[in-house]
Structure 1
């Protein structure tokens, strides 16, 4: 009987020795499978991050491939589980396709002859340019005439426009507006031809808006005034007797007797009345008027290029004028209604604001020179930031650019205006300005991951 039990124990030992590797492999396989899943997720995450970063940075295939490698290595370093190999990048007009594989060395599955498991993952980023509304608010002040600055701005702006239209499958998905500004903004026919209550006037003919109970009796004084056509420039409205703009007033609010309207003329010298007519020494209601009118949002690339090429420097710097009219251009509300509705999320609203200097006050703007110019400049800066905050609250994405050494004092102000510090750029040189505009243009794309 004892022999039988000894024989039985020997058989169980043999059976256990045979089954043990299988049991160990089965239990250990769960550990290996968990590690394989971890490799799979880390690999996918690294590919997604690399493809997104590369696709958003440039459209150059070689640069995209280098960017993919840089971000992939940062997110999946060699000391992570799994040895990566065979990273591949494919770039087309609208897609960036990235694939990679990782070998995981097993711990327990090797017992049953499985030494390594290869994990392969891939991802595709679609470079989709959705509806883009972009307003360029561009410094056309007198300081831009030196050192080839205005030529650099023209080149940078043209390239910006070309990049956006070249990246769009349909040019109707891109609308760009222009606000050339100095110490005035020229709103053109929009100021002369429209009123908020819907009345439309012929801006090419003299007209007068009569108060109730008045009648029109043509006279030489009105004739003298109406011969001077307003060019369309506006400045800020001020209280307490300060200078007023034309846009906030009724069109030509003159009566038929007095030769003076309630606007403050933009003069260096005095007005003199002779024989019932107005004579102005070297100045008039269009003095220092920025000659180039704003261009409302448009998909006409050729027209944009023509206007950009027409930019000419002159006047001082009042950035809040430019910014507030950039706000109005991109808004769907009066007086410019080309913008998409605020709640239309298929369109992005972007304003790019550029300056080569600090805000200033002078004989010709709403603030004038005084013994307290530093206080007045501070007030301009505060108004500028207030406009920026209102725009950001409305969902407008703001990029800001300071250009050249003359703009050093404006850097903090423009950084605060931007939607984030990453959206602020300083361009010390002409070449830098062109590169900054191009970088912003190439970043304005809506990216979507698809597998």
Structure 2
């Protein structure tokens, strides 16, 4: 009799455990969903979209396959710079129906904040592709405007005053990065001092009496950063070389460092540390180097001026551009400007039009091994995210599916990757 009396409560207890376990699984899914929805709604707020609609759509789409009703409410605090998404649904019970409990409530909420929102500071760095292919299809102008809009929204409070909780850095990149000549002689660089090189005397024949035939045009196509351009030229055949005249001279070359840096030996080019025992190679006389990076700070005018001054030139190697963005955010040398991850939201935004065309040949970047360059980018992305950095990747008119997948993989999650289509 006692056993018979105990069967029902025991079964209800077991059933409750099963039903509550299923509800807990649903809540985990719901929490992950509202986390992403809050990020997407925050991005919509920054870009002039509708945060409420974006969040609702995101939650509904995630749970559409279940047939379950999910309600989502979004609260926007423009002054604090926060978006809070709260979602609620129910978990149908199985065994607990015996006790007339048909459903269990499931609720989750998340808040996305940037700038003044929350108790943390915000540190944001934009790594900006300024290579030759950005000259196509209005990409550079579009990317410049997008970068300036982002900087303006992040660095200003709704009142228009400067946001004291935000610092921003900027890293233009081609296949190289320019750290700036202000660091000439720094302990974390290999020898970066200018020098003069004198070589042994060299003698050669000149032909001052050479005679050429009629000039003609040679048509040909060249490529810069994967973009074709006309590099035809005029020439003429030699009819007579004439009597040679021997000339001797002593070659002297002035080598100057303009701030351009290469890569430390792998795997040192996959982490943020650069110091006296882990030096970054300084590269001399390099013309394929963009304007200097800008360290974390609150000078919006300096950032905007740097963005405006950029021109499209050079080849693409994305990994160093991303790496130096991470180094600006890092509390470690060479700069040490970043706060610890517990004290600041760290955001790195990669803006690029896509495919690598060069890679590391150590210390320079003259390798044509694109597969290795792609693999290196994934490693740097993974390491940066592992250091507590939220990574956004923005692809401008990227059509290469390989790099699309890599940029998507690099981002912190699905809402953190954005592909901007070509203009129609």
TM-score normalised according to structure 1 size: 0.53
SS in 2 for 1:345: coil
Residue 304 (structure 2) aligns with: 305
SS in 1 for 2:164: helix
Question: 1:394/1:430 Cα in 2 relative to 1: closer, same or farther (>3 Å)?
Answer: farther
Q: Does residue 389 of structure 2 align to residue 396 of structure 1?
A: yes
Displacement, 1:249?
9.6
- State the alpha-carbon separation in 1 of the partners of residues 275 and 63 from structure 2: 60
Structure with greater Cα Rg: 1
Q: 1:236 aligns with which of 248, 263, 268?
A: 263
Q: 2:349 aligns with which of 352, 356, 361?
A: 352
Q: Does residue 418 of structure 2 align to residue 421 of structure 1?
A: no
Q: Does residue 178 of structure 2 align to residue 175 of structure 1?
A: no
CA deviations on 1:361-408 (whole Å, 9 max, x unpaired) are: 289983535xxx4xx211111111111121111111111122114544
Name whichever structure is richer in strand by fraction: 2
Residue 364 (structure 2) aligns with: 366
Q: Does residue 294 of structure 2 align to residue 295 of structure 1?
A: yes
Residue 154 (structure 2) aligns with: 164
- State the alpha-carbon separation in 2 of the partners of residues 163 and 322 from structure 1: 23
Residues 52-201 of structure 1: pairs in structure 2 closer than 5 A: 56=42, 58-59=44-45, 63-64=50-51, 66=53, 93-94=79-80, 128=117, 130-167=120-157, 171-189=163-181, 191-196=183-188
Displacement, 1:287?
2.9
- State the alpha-carbon separation in 2 of the partners of residues 407 and 170 from structure 1: 39
Displacement, 1:328?
1.1
Q: Which runs of 5 or more residues in structure 1 are unaligned?
A: 1-41, 100-122, 209-220, 240-246, 251-261, 266-284, 432-451
CA deviations on 1:41-94 (whole Å, 9 max, x unpaired) are: x9xx99xx79968963544999355568768999999x999xx9xx99886633
Aligned partners of 1:133 and 1:349 also within 8 Å: yes
Question: 1:389/1:155 Cα in 2 relative to 1: closer, same or farther (>3 Å)?
Answer: same
Displacement, 1:289?
3.5
CA deviations on 1:192-215 (whole Å, 9 max, x unpaired) are: 142149x9x9x9x8689xxxxxxx
TM-score normalised according to structure 2 size: 0.56
Q: Which stretch of structure 1 is more off in the superposition, 314-323 or 414-423?
A: 414-423
Question: 1:65/1:362 Cα in 2 relative to 1: closer, same or farther (>3 Å)?
Answer: closer
Q: 1:381 aligns with which of 374, 379, 385?
A: 374
Aligned partners of 1:351 and 1:399 also within 8 Å: yes
Displacement, 1:248?
9.0
Question: 1:56/1:286 Cα in 2 relative to 1: closer, same or farther (>3 Å)?
Answer: same
Question: 1:366/1:300 Cα in 2 relative to 1: closer, same or farther (>3 Å)?
Answer: same
Aligned partners of 1:185 and 1:289 also within 8 Å: no
CA deviations on 1:88-134 (whole Å, 9 max, x unpaired) are: 988663377999xxxxxxxxxxxxxxxxxxxxxxx997962541111
Aligned partners of 1:53 and 1:67 also within 8 Å: no
Residues 43-54 of structure 1: pairs in structure 2 closer than 5 A: none
What RMSD in Å do the two structures reach over aligned CA positions?
Answer: 4.9
Aligned partners of 2:330 and 2:339 also within 8 Å: yes
Q: How many residue pairs end up in the alignment?
A: 298
SS in 2 for 1:402: strand
- State the alpha-carbon separation in 1 of the partners of residues 345 and 403 from structure 2: 27
Displacement, 1:229?
2.9
Residue 285 (structure 2) aligns with: 286
- State the alpha-carbon separation in 1 of the partners of residues 151 and 298 from structure 2: 10
Q: Give the number of the structure with larger relative contact order, counting CA–CA contacts within 8 Å between residues 6 or more apart.
A: 1
Aligned partners of 1:231 and 1:289 also within 8 Å: no
Displacement, 1:137?
0.7
